[in-house]
Amino acid sequence: MSPPETATEPGETASGVEAAKADDGAKKPTGIPGLIAWVNRVIAWVQTLKPVRVFTKYGANGGPLLASGMSYQAVFAIFAALWAGFSIFGLALASNPALQKSLLDQINTSVPGLIGPDGAINPDTLLSTPALGWTGAIALVGLILTAVGFLGSTRSAIRLIFGLPGPTTNPVLLKLKDFALAIAFAVILVISAAMSIASSSALGWVFGLFGWDSASWAAEGIARVIGLLVVFVFDTIVLAGTYRLLSGVPIPWKYLLPGSALAAVVMGILKVLGSTLLGGATSNPLLASFAVIIGILIWFNFICQVVLIFASWISVSMADAHFDPRNLTPEQAKALAEQQASAAQREVLRATREETLAELTDARGLRRSRLKRLLKRLDAELAAGIASPPAPRP
């Protein structure tokens, strides 16, 4: 009995089967070519990882440069905000020492080295700020200008990370929105300070109920964890407001909340390690005379980079889900696609024109005449903005 013939799929020839078997039996490259192929596969795999794509987008859109500009403005904004805030609300805070201390602690946690005997601002000087007068009024104007400027820069930076143009809102309404958000963030800061006081009081009551020593290391550890949770909630709310309300980018909640929470976690880690990070960054003896200000500037640079990196994280998450942050209508999407196609065609026409000019230099006779006619046609199409198919080459 003869051996059974190898079955083939419909439309598949015997030679095709043999070629497939030959391909399957081909050995993978070894030695240097094999190593290069393996490295290329590893690089391709690494580039598909989300953190890598996030940092790639962050760098490609100028994230480090944007963060540097934001941190520079933040230094001026924080000093103006503190002066105006304590000028306006100094009397109310003076009547509540517990809230006063909690608020200062909250600010110093958010910006290490800002307030303190050895910090940029002495707390006694800050608390003795006179009631709102001419000085306070001028500082208040400064607060408005610097806060609005900082928030405006933050909005532009976040929108650039998302690849979006500036907002089309009326500029006056945009400034009013920024001012309202600045006040809202300040109110949230005061609320978080009050929550810290309430949580400390509740914790002391619980310890007293069970007869535990509130000065023990366990009690202090629990109090520290609760304080960090309060800061985490505060940071998450502020970041969510920054990404969604300030920037005006239509981010769905399922991308906004995880991104804001992750950014708040990283900020919390930075705050826990704040003194260590700034101590190393400002250890240069040449910076000793103004190390505090340099430290604050470096700190804001860290924070602004975190804000923009996680804006990139949210943007990549939305892109993975095929969610367009531009929120275009079908008509707008069609018009944009046509505009992009027209722009691409113009680039093709320009490239063809450059090639034609290069060939025209050495062309002679009939070919030179054809190239001149082609060049004239290309110039006419570029001048008219016509996105027709490129002219055939002679």
Most confident residue range from 43-47, 85-89, 260-264: 260-264
pLDDT for the residue 329:
57
Average pLDDT of every residue of the chain: 76
Rounding to the nearest 10 degrees, give the CA dihedral for residues 196, 197, 202, 204.
Answer: 110
pLDDT for the residue 347:
83
Contact 71, 304 (CB under 8 A): yes
Lowest mean pLDDT among 177-181, 206-210, 389-393: 389-393
What is the per-residue pLDDT across 175-185, written as a single tens digit (0 to 9) for each?
Answer: 888 888 888 88
Give the pLDDT band (50/70/90) at residue 226.
confident
Encoded tokens for 237:
């709310």
Strand, coil or helix: 212: coil
pLDDT average, residue stretch 196-212: 71
Most confident residue range from 102-111, 136-145, 280-289, 333-342: 102-111
What is the per-residue pLDDT across 369-385, written as a single tens digit (0 to 9) for each?
Answer: 887 888 888 888 877 76
Q: What is the residue-wise DSSP string for 31-78?
A: HHHHHHHHHHHHHHHHHTSHHHHHHHHHHHTTHHHHHHHHHHHHHHHH
Give the rounded percent of residues in the chain with a pLDDT score beyond 70: 74
Sole residue written with tokens 């450059």: 354
Encoded tokens for 149:
């400027």
Residues 6+ apart with CB under 8 A from 293: 75, 120
pLDDT average, residue stretch 70-76: 87
pLDDT for the residue 201:
72
What is the per-residue pLDDT across 317-330, written as a single tens digit (0 to 9) for each?
Answer: 998 888 888 766 56
pLDDT average, residue stretch 221-231: 79
Encoded tokens for 30:
């070894």
Give the pLDDT band (50/70/90) at residue 244.
very high
pLDDT for the residue 20:
44
| 106-131 residues labelled b (16+ CB within 10 A) or e (exposed) | bbbbbbbbbbeeebbbebeebeebee
pTM: 0.70
Give the pLDDT band (50/70/90) at residue 191.
confident
pLDDT for the residue 266:
92
Taking CA atoms, 60 is separated from 66, 168, 313, in Å, by 12, 24, 14
pLDDT for the residue 275:
60
Give the rounded percent of residues in the chain with a pLDDT score beyond 90: 17
Encoded tokens for 67:
């963060």
Nearest Cα residue to 191 out of 248, 134, 238, 157: 238
What are φ and ψ of residue 194, in 5° steps?
A: -65, -40
Distance from C-alpha of 351 to C-alpha of 2, rounded to nearest angstrom: 65
Distance from C-alpha of 344 to C-alpha of 347, rounded to nearest angstrom: 5
pLDDT for the residue 1:
45
